[in-house]
Amino acid sequence: MNKQLRKAVIAGNWKMNKTPAEATELLGNIVPLVKDAKVEVIACVPYVDLYAALEATKGTNVKIGAENCHWAKSGAFTGEISADMLAAVGVNYVIIGHSERRQYFGETDKTVNMRTRAALDAGLTVILCVGEYLEQREQGVTAEVVSSQTKIALQGVSEDELSRIIIAYEPVWAIGTGKTATAQQANEVCALIRKVIADLYSKEAADGITIQYGGSMNAKNAEELLDQPDVDGGLIGGASLKAEDFSVIVKAADR
């Protein structure tokens, strides 16, 4: 309904893939394929690829993001990277709260909130991931899970700052499994998240926020998913590693 009010965003999540040389090559292939895109195109890449990725996309419409950041500005956190460090190298976006972080690295709603806060303070735009496990969907608690993840992640985030929040609805059972949510399922939960934003902030805030679907989105199913009224874009894992497929998804969002 208010889809025209929102910016469509297609973001790749490369996860733990590609060396810097491979990143340069892949982006070299992606850039010409998406150069006329009207939607926002982002590639979120491993930390060590950031420099190469920023170089490969300089002066183009492809933006670069990281896949996580720590909540502290600096300090004794061996192996971690701060939001300020990302901003300093020229990164504009960061994924926070991806289910793989929650599942394998002890990420909680609380730390997702702290990281989100740190990223906003550093001037970054956050791609905030929420989504339910298969058991939760089967138990009928998807709405509760996704609402509470969204509410806790946004604690202390002002309505103004929402312009730098993109929410990615990623049902965990659909990630990397080849099992996509149906377009109706995806839309239903994206609409629910929008309702949560309306309740927390305002109708204008809800109308303006970009909500992506993620989970086995690919060149074949992107169009149907992106056609849904509450799906404003995609967070793409596997298919973002293939320039052709990724560009087909960007084109589907452009329609």
- Build a one-symbol-per-residue string for 159-178: x at contacts with ligand PGA by CB under 6 A, - elsewhere: -----------x----xx--
What are the tokens at 40? Answer: 């926002």
Count of residues that interact with ligand PGA, criterion CB under 6 A: 13
**In this complex, which beta carbon is closest to ligand PGA, that of residue 96 or of residue 206?**
96
In whole angstroms, the minimum distance from the beta carbon of 216 to ligand PGA comes to: 4
**How far is residue 68's CA from residue 129's CA, in Å, rounded to a whole number?**
11
Q: Does 69 bind ligand PGA (CB under 6 A)?
A: no
For the chain, where are the alpha helices, taking DSSP H only?
Answer: 20-33, 50-57, 83-89, 99-104, 109-121, 134-138, 142-153, 183-200, 203-208, 222-226, 243-254
Q: Which of residues 23-62 bind ligand PGA (CB under 6 A)?
A: none
For ligand PGA, which residue has the nearest CB?
Answer: 237
Q: Which stretch binds ligand PGA (CB under 6 A): 55-63, 156-164, 224-232, 237-245?
A: 237-245
**Binding test (CB under 6 A) with ligand PGA, winner from 147, 185, 212, 216:** 216
**In this complex, which beta carbon is closest to ligand PGA, that of residue 206 or of residue 228?**
228
CB 248 within 8 A of CB 222: yes
**In this complex, which beta carbon is closest to ligand PGA, that of residue 23 or of residue 239?**
239
In whole angstroms, the minimum distance from the beta carbon of 13 to ligand PGA comes to: 4
Taking the mean position of all CA atoms in its chain, how far away is CA 171? 13
Q: Which residues pair with 127 in a beta bridge?
A: 95, 166
Q: Which stretch binds ligand PGA (CB under 6 A): 85-93, 136-144, 159-167, 212-220?
A: 212-220
Q: Long-range contacts for 70-73 (Cβ within 8 Å, ≥24 apart)?
A: 70/115, 70/118, 71/111, 71/114, 71/115, 71/117, 71/118, 72/118, 73/118
**How far is residue 174's CA from residue 44's CA, in Å, rounded to a whole number?**
19
| End-to-end Cα, the chain, rounded Å | 16
Q: Which stretch binds ligand PGA (CB under 6 A): 28-36, 65-73, 132-140, 211-219?
A: 211-219
70 is catalytic: no
**Calculated CA dihedral for residues 2, 152, 88, 166, nearest 10 degrees:** -20
Question: What is the radius of gyration, based on Cα positions, of the chain?
Answer: 17
Q: Does 94 bind ligand PGA (CB under 6 A)?
A: no
**Binding test (CB under 6 A) with ligand PGA, winner from 118, 236, 243, 249:** 236
Out of 67, 98, 100, 132, pick the active-site residue: 98
132 is catalytic: no
Residues identified as active-site: 98, 170
- Chain positions contacting ligand PGA, by CB under 6 A: 13, 170, 175-176, 214-217, 235-239
